[in-house]
Amino acid sequence: MTDIYLDNNATTKVDRAVVDAMIPYFLEQYGNPSSIHKFADGVARGIKQARQQVQNLIGCEHDSEIIFTSCGTESNSTAILSAIKAQPNKKEIITTTVEHPAILSLCEYLEKEGYTIHRLPVDKAGRLNLESYKKLLSDEVAIVSVMWANNETGTIFPVAEMAEMANAAGVMFHTDAVQAVGKIPMMLQDTKIDMLSLSGHKLHAPKGIGVLYLRRGTRYRPLLRGGHQERGRRAGTENSASIVGLGKACELALEFIEYENTKVKAMRDRLERGITEQIPHCFVTGDLYNRLPNTTDIAFEYIEGESILMLLNKAGIAASSGSACTSGSLEPSHVMRAMDIPYTAAHGTIRFSFSRYNTMSEVDEVLKVMPGIVATLRKLSPYWDSINNAPVTNPEQAFQPTYA
Amino acid sequence: MWDYSDKVKEHFFNPKNAGAVVDANATGEVGSISCGDALRLTLKVDDATEVILEAGFQTFGCGSAIASSSVLTEIIKGMTLDEALKVTNQDIADQLEGLPPEKMHCSVMGREALQAAIANYRGEEWKDDHEEGALICKCFAIDAVMIEEMVWANKLRTVQDVTNFTKAGGGCAACHEDIEAILEKVLAEKGEKFDPNAAPVETPVKIAAVKAPLTNLQRIKKIEQVLESLRPSLMADGGDVELVEVIGNTAYVNMTGACNGCQMAAMTIAGIQQRLMEVMGEFIKVVPATEMAKLVNIEAVS
């Protein structure tokens, strides 16, 4: 049996067609797009085509609104730092408690520099409260940055509505759409979103290429200054092969967007149903009715995620976990904590994220091994009563280890 | 994922002594569910001889937590309680052929569960004496709590101070921003301001840098001085260093105590070498004395 890859929210396999599209830009058209000779004359055309392919996928009005960057993190940093540089008198930023570290770490840093950061909390299903969001919008706010979809649970935030609200209050709106682009349809020209980040490696393009969408007319200050590349908005020689690859990947993503929301979703649903029906004391986290079609995040109570991953890996299955141990930190994932998932479950969350390369028979394979893996680890758990095959009565009281 | 040794994987995939000992007369429960690690160790102790007849573990935790628990039960079976109390977390890590620095706390948890179980058997109350913070220096496995305490206790002001007193930041230097953040925080609590250019606090022995070239005798004296100044921080970790021989620019040292066989020994030696070069203003190579025999022999032959 070949290995099963269910960690597509972490990164994806590069599509063969993407690799094929890139190769000429390493071996033949390797000239600097700024040069005037035959090694370069096709590069500008290739980049222009890629810009249009990205434009088609995200539905923006002009291809000049696409700025190629090195990754999602660069796009995020550029967006937020641009907003505060362009509006130096505004000292507040609105974001959420469940953003990716690419946003949260930057905000923490800006907090030290004197910025006020409003982090919108989420409820137990990972949803935001738009009323409290509305109250925070003011002239003091430089930018709102809210992810389109959460990387761990797949929960989708109402960014279009939130952008309207920000726009009405005269506040810039940025969305980290790294997990959403290519998985759900979008038409940016119909929204008031000013900036959007996307990352190539989440949609079968290579790592090291990203995009910042910048609505025409949005006040902007570049992060990298230098040459005239990207119309002076992001200096540095173009990563031409990867840009072309990203373009191809966007074209394919658009082609497969219906497949993603029907076939891929069906695989996710079958796995989720199978696991929750067969295994006691587990539950799906996030907003079940408003999620990415490819993601399920399941909390297995009384056991720990890294152990589950190691046993899954032994069975040839790749997934990921929100447990503390997998990251080397002392706390479980901030997303699980924000949703108030109890520690006994938060450490045991496993995220399965699909792509169009997965198959139904892979789902069946996972369903075959998962109950055994959970049972094996529960046998070792001090919170589990092996004789009755159930949690001990009052688990949190029954086992209270000493800790300073 | 983590680079676990084969031994860790072996104990994780086939744990020994999993589950509670049925008629146990000693139980130790340690860990923290918020951190995602918790261990219950149950023992059956022979009342007459105090020999551990059986040991069982129940662990909520990651691969290395389960492996540490498993190997611990294997180590202590057949020991008397007094012998078992001498088992250190390093013994557990060594039996597992090493643990990543971020995972050393799993072996600490094993040792603590053992102490707690023995205290339980003897009717004593066991208190955890350490508090663990976020891991700051990955080269030397130093956490935030440890650094904060040292900053408070020794009135440290600069990153160099922190490195001198705790070793944190003395390796790859990637954590210097985090150390500065801790200094900023602690100094703010004391009503002071962090100044990256502040004069360093008095180190236990202050050694003036010298101008090369040195005579061999001067070099040896200087090396001894530097090693002397570094010993307190090594001894704080239960280790020590002694100078065995100096041949040319190469200093042969013995790492003793906890340093002996410690996975960090190589990093520590690199730290010593760096300090020596800073003070002496010339290239000095520090080599474990165990390597000396080979080298001397080669020299003798050639």
Disruptive mutation site among B5, B21, B59, B60 for chain A (greatest number of A CBs within 10 Å): B60
What CATH number does the domain located at A16-255 have? Answer: 3.40.640.10
Q: How many CB atoms lie within 10 A of CB B134?
A: 12
Helices (H), chain B: 6-13, 63-76, 81-85, 89-95, 104-121, 144-154, 159-166, 176-189, 216-236, 265-280, 292-301
The catalytic position among A107, A250, A282, A325 is A325
Domain presence at residue B265: yes
Please say whether the beta carbons of A68 and A243 come within 8 A.
Answer: yes
> Which residues in A lie closer than 8 A to residue B131 (C-beta atoms)?
404
pLDDT at A198: 98
Q: How far apart are CA A305 and CA A381, in angstroms?
A: 13
Q: Which residue among A304, A328, A399 sits closest to B61, beta carbon to beta carbon? A: A304
Please say whether the beta carbons of B52 and B70 come within 8 A.
Answer: no
Contact of A343 with chain B, judged by CB distance below 8 Å, is answered with yes
Please say whether the beta carbons of B32 and A403 come within 8 A.
Answer: yes
User: Of A56, A82, A59, A60, nearest to A69 (Cα)?
Assistant: A82
> Which residues in B lie closer than 8 A to residue A313 (C-beta atoms)?
1
**The two three-digit tokens of residue B80, written as one number:** 């008397």
Give yes or no: residues B67 and B104 share one domain.
Answer: yes
User: Of B10, B109, B19, nearest to B56 (Cα)?
Assistant: B19
Q: Which long-range contacts (C-beta less than 8 Å, at least 24 apart) are formed by B74-78?
A: B74/B16, B74/B17, B76/B43, B76/B52, B76/B114, B77/B17, B77/B52, B77/B53, B78/B51, B78/B52
Q: What is the pLDDT of residues A211-244, one digit of tens each?
A: 999 999 999 999 999 999 999 999 999 999 999 9
Q: What is the pLDDT of residues A25-72, one digit of tens each?
A: 999 999 999 888 888 889 999 999 999 999 999 999 999 999 999 999
Please say whether the beta carbons of A104 and A95 come within 8 A.
Answer: yes
The answer to whether residue B172 is catalytic is no
CATH superfamily ID and name for A257-388: Aspartate Aminotransferase, domain 1 (3.90.1150.10)
Q: Is B189 exposed, middle or buried (0-12, 13-18, 19+ CB in 10 A)?
A: exposed
pLDDT at B259: 64
Question: Domain of B140?
Answer: 135-189
Domain presence at residue B206: no
Contact of B125 with chain A, judged by CB distance below 8 Å, is answered with no
Question: Containing H/E element for A160?
Answer: helix A159-168
Distances in whole angstroms, Cα of residue B184 to Cα of each of A369, A385, B153? 50, 48, 15
Domain presence at residue B68: yes
Give yes or no: residues B181 and B234 share one domain.
Answer: no
**The two three-digit tokens of residue B207, written as one number:** 């050694």
Distances in whole angstroms, Cα of residue A65 to Cα of each of A213, A252, A348, B67, B287? 6, 21, 42, 53, 59
* Residue B40, amino acid: R
pLDDT at B301: 46
Out of B63, B90, B121, a domain closes at B121
Distances in whole angstroms, Cα of residue B144 to Cα of each of A80, A181, B182, B203? 29, 38, 8, 21
User: Helix, strand, or coil here: B74?
Assistant: helix
CATH code for the domain in which residue B238 is found: 3.30.300.130
Contact B35 A383 (CB under 8 A): no
- Min mean pLDDT across A165-179, A296-310, A316-330, B47-61 is at A316-330
| Average predicted confidence (pLDDT) for chain A | 94
Q: What is the pLDDT of residues A163-206, one digit of tens each?
A: 999 999 999 999 999 999 999 999 999 999 999 999 999 999 99
Q: Is A126 left (phi over 0), alpha (psi -120 to 50) or beta?
A: left
Mean pLDDT of the A360-379 span: 97
Task: Give how far the C-alpha of residue A296 lies from the chain's centroid of Cα atoms, to the nearest Å.
Answer: 13
Domain presence at residue B288: yes
Task: Give how far the C-alpha of residue A375 lies from the chain's centroid of Cα atoms, to the nearest Å.
Answer: 31
> Which residues in A lie closer than 8 A to residue B133 (C-beta atoms)?
330
Q: How confident is the model at residue B227 (pLDDT cuts 50, 70, 90)?
A: confident
User: Helix, strand, or coil here: A211?
Assistant: strand
Give yes or no: residues B96 and B159 share one domain.
Answer: no
Domain presence at residue B146: yes
Domain presence at residue B16: yes
Q: How many domains does chain B have?
A: 3
Q: How many CB atoms lie within 10 A of CB A2?
A: 7
Question: Containing H/E element for A74?
Answer: helix A72-86
Positive or negative, the CA dihedral B210, B214, B216, B217 is: negative
**Predicted-assembly ipTM surpassing the 0.85 threshold:** no
- Min mean pLDDT across A12-16, B13-17, B101-105 is at B101-105
pLDDT at A311 over 50: yes
Residues forming CATH 3.40.640.10 domain(s) in chain A:
16-255
Q: Checking DSSP bridges between strand A195-199 and strand B52-60, what pairing results, if any?
A: unpaired
Q: How many CB atoms lie within 10 A of CB A128?
A: 20
pLDDT at A272 over 50: yes
